[in-house]
A and B are shown apart, each in its own frame.
Chain A
């Protein structure tokens, strides 16, 4: 059957300053099909769609709807042409009900009749298989329900062409299955669905055709049934990429970070961490899975000393057993105290006693390296500031989710960003930029950071390169615990695999790695154990080698199951 053209884009070009976001892109969309737009972050997918939705105006090129050229100057124009876009970040009024949000801004020339609206919304919902109560308030809704409202909003206005920008990023596997079922029904109804994504398995699962963009250029449009993931990756990245993460078995995994009964209330008084207890082992990657905003960020910030805790303990086991005592992070007084507690032994396993020795003699003895720790050093991290944690000699690295707002300073160059961790070094008030610069150069070389030089402000770098700088710095700090929150978010495939590789290397070096991820496939491939949290509580800790995606998906939405911690 000959398909009918709904939308055509011809020679669309859009520039942002010197950046070519889209370069003469041609794209056809038919009625009754699901078209996936595939491409890495920054390849111009969203920009292209924003031009159809009336948010940007193309610098060059033409847009045709039903064979007729149109100019779309605003989202309102787009609606008039039957185009609706569901953005990644929802645009809803929290205090309104679903029906109120849906009708907001619709001009029908008469007073709103909410009952009628509710009925019509219910009808649309039923037709496509959505489950939604139109009279519920938005603030009561889950992320997936909010997305449903956004889609209904667009359908209510009579959209025939729906654009969904990364709709699955915030959903659990079960919710994704449901969404896809709805999309298929809309397709049967003759609607055109455009879905922006960078996840290959979803493309294969749901789309009829795939358009691949790379660096603003349209590479090809292929039929999904005639392609495979490897071919798509090749077109998307432009070179062959191995999509394997080699995971080694943990060697000699001992608890490095012991967290017990953590409770945290945020500034608004919301109970964001509920009785969190877990161990992070050295030589192991502990994955953390959960719907965005389930307390992942707060947990990592609490461990690194950025959140004041209500209750609980965080204990760090410094692997010092049979290693020499140093003054590096301890005062002479502290060393004497520890000695009195019997914490040290000498090379012949005999107890060390400083009795009758002068301070000078003690210093000399300790510095000779013959005074050894009897056990691993146990350090309490509760209620310590990040600076105090560092001064205690705890090498705790943290790659925060907000790279340029927290981990790095966007306007500073790479050298100055290297210094953030250790600018205090040195006896006088002046900065020493020599070592940080050498370190910056080393990271640029080893991690292949694409940058004009060490004195380029990091905000000028692409997302992947920014992340390499941040992760590189945190690893250069020789961590014992490395926490990374969404370290591959927004990164291209190549950079993502560089980061996975780096995390794996740290694990092999005996570091306790905590990895907060959103892609369950990656979490399952990379982690040794996966801890799932929902609403600030642990709903399960599972063995990543045995668990399935569905199992984790269920744990992600499980409620009131704090006791169900099955240690793997």
Chain B
């Protein structure tokens, strides 16, 4: 390296530095901007992909309007939106205690599915033979139990042998799916493997068929908020999540906490399964949980594992889902487009976290300040 070469060296074009604290206003501002940009990019993507829009570019306003219409245009859609939000929220809530403990439960899908399966199994075998109220209670008990078992198996392995919970819970999802397939073959011998709606085991209606589910989940939200923040169990979960070494130091039996919390997490997924089975579907398919076990992770994470904030994030995700569904219907495009649109928005929202944690400096910005400083 010669002398002139030294001079040619310039400050790097951009460099990053970690922010220490950021005011909540600024953070929400960044998220808002990200969401806005996400929607703009969605519009561009839609324009490129939807033929109807290309023929009539003026309809781009309709595109955004349809987003809202998907959830709010009729009272039926509104109730469907509220109920679906509630079930998604229920699954997210179920995952939250585990996540607060830094136990990455990716098995919400399977835990929910076995909850559905257990409920339907009880309804299938006992429906009509015992009183409906007893049937509903048995279904609930079976769902909670099944979910808890699905949750506690990875926890036991983690506590005993330190196995990786992320992979373990993920694999349990596939076991659950194939278990459902198996029972469908047993229950529906004609080969169609499609169990129709069952006649028994339907939750009673308050006002309409959705309100009871919504109320149950709201109650659960409050309850879980209190459990996580104001009880000794919740405190132990936080300590174990933050540092296992601290937990040991103060005499918390971290294995016990892991097992107890995963029983809870699994059982609450089971409850979500019960709400799907007894409250909505009345049947079981391999797709009964519909991927919400995974979407729930996103909801919980975006909501910073705070049950109250998760009400908003689950509503947001549901709004996107339903809006995108409406778009594919109204603009007669295929079913993959909604996924593209939701994916784009989520990409921007999640990506915005980077800008909340890091600050970006461009070349020259520091120099200007330095010169300004010297003028003083």
Chain A residues with CB under 8 Å of chain B are 11, 13, 15-19, 24, 57-61, 68-71, 73, 77, 80-81, 304, 306, 385-390, 398, 400, 402, 405-412, 416, 419-421, 423-424, 429-431, 460
- Determine the residue in chain B with the shortest Cβ distance to A71: B9
B250 touches A17 (CB 8 A): no
Contacts of A410 in B (CB 8 A): 242-243
Closest to B19 in A: A17
22 CB contacts below 8 A, A to B, read A13-B366, A18-B20, A59-B366, A68-B7, A70-B9, A71-B6, A73-B9, A77-B9, A304-B249, A306-B248, A385-B251, A388-B251, A389-B251, A406-B246, A407-B246, A408-B246, A409-B242, A409-B243, A412-B239, A421-B250, A423-B232, A424-B232
Q: Give bound CA distance, A421 to B247, whole Å.
A: 10
Q: Whose C-beta in chain B lies nearest to the C-beta of A65?
A: B6
Cα of A18 to Cα of B369 in the assembled complex, Å: 15
A438 to chain B: closest CB distance in Å?
18
What 7 A-B pairs come out closest when comparing CB atoms?
A387-B251, A17-B20, A60-B370, A386-B251, A71-B9, A59-B366, A409-B242
Q: Does B160 contact A (CB under 8 A)?
A: no
B366–A429 touching, CB < 8 Å: no
Mark contacts of B211-245 with chain A using CB atoms, 8 A cut-off: 1 yes-contact digit, 0 otherwise. Answer: 00000000000000000001111110011001101
Interface membership of B1, Cβ < 8 A: yes
Chain A residues closer than 8 Å to B10, beta-carbon distance: 71
Please report the C-alpha to C-alpha distance between residue A431 and residue B18 in the assembled complex, in whole angstroms: 35
User: Is the pair A57, B20 in contact by a Cβ cutoff of 8 Å?
Assistant: no
Chain B residues with a Cβ closer than 8 Å to the other chain, count: 39
CA distance A305 to B18 in the complex (A): 38
Bound-complex Cα distance A24 to B12 (A): 20
Bound Cα distance from A408 to B251, whole angstroms = 13
| In contact, A15 and B17 (Cβ under 8 angstroms) | yes
In the assembled complex, which residues on chain A have CB atoms less than 8 Å from the CB atom of B252? 387
A398 touches B20 (CB 8 A): no
> What number of residue pairs across chains A and B have CB atoms under 8 A from each other?
106
Q: Choose one: B11, B21, B233; the contact of A71 (CB below 8 Å).
A: B11
Q: In the complex, are the beta carbons of B11 and A416 less than 8 A apart? A: no
Q: B246 touching A420 by the CB < 8 A rule?
A: yes
Nearest-neighbour CB distance to chain B for A318, whole angstroms, equals: 19
B52 at the interface (CB under 8 A from A): no
User: Once bound together, how far apart are the Cα atoms of A509 and B373, in whole Å?
Assistant: 55
Residue contact B366 to A420, C-beta cutoff 8 Å: no
B3 located at the interface, meaning its Cβ lies under 8 Å from any Cβ of chain A in the complex: yes
Chain B positions within 8 Å of A460 at CB level:
21
A304 neighbours in B (Cβ, 8 Å): 249
User: Do B17 and A405 touch across chains, with their CB atoms under 8 A apart?
Assistant: no
Q: Is B197 an interface residue (CB 8 A)?
A: no
A420 close to B21 (CB less than 8 A) = no
B51 at the interface (CB under 8 A from A): no
CA distance A423 to B373 in the complex (A): 52
- The verdict on A80 contacting B370 (CB below 8 Å), with A16-B20, A386-B250, A423-B232 known, is no
For the complex, give the distance between the alpha carbons of A73 and B12 in Å: 7
Partner of B15, one of A57, A386, A409: A57
A429's nearest neighbour on chain B, judged by CB, is B231
B17 lies within 8 A of A60 (CB): no
Query: B residues within 8 A CB of A385?
Result: 251
14 extra interface residue pairs, beta carbon distance < 8 Å, beyond A70-B9, A81-B6, A431-B235: A19-B20, A60-B369, A73-B11, A387-B253, A388-B251, A406-B246, A407-B249, A409-B238, A409-B239, A419-B235, A421-B250, A423-B235, A430-B232, A431-B232
B206 to chain A, nearest CB (A): 30
Q: Which residues of B contact A409 (CB under 8 A)?
A: 238-239, 242-243, 246
B228, chain A: closest CB distance, angstroms: 11
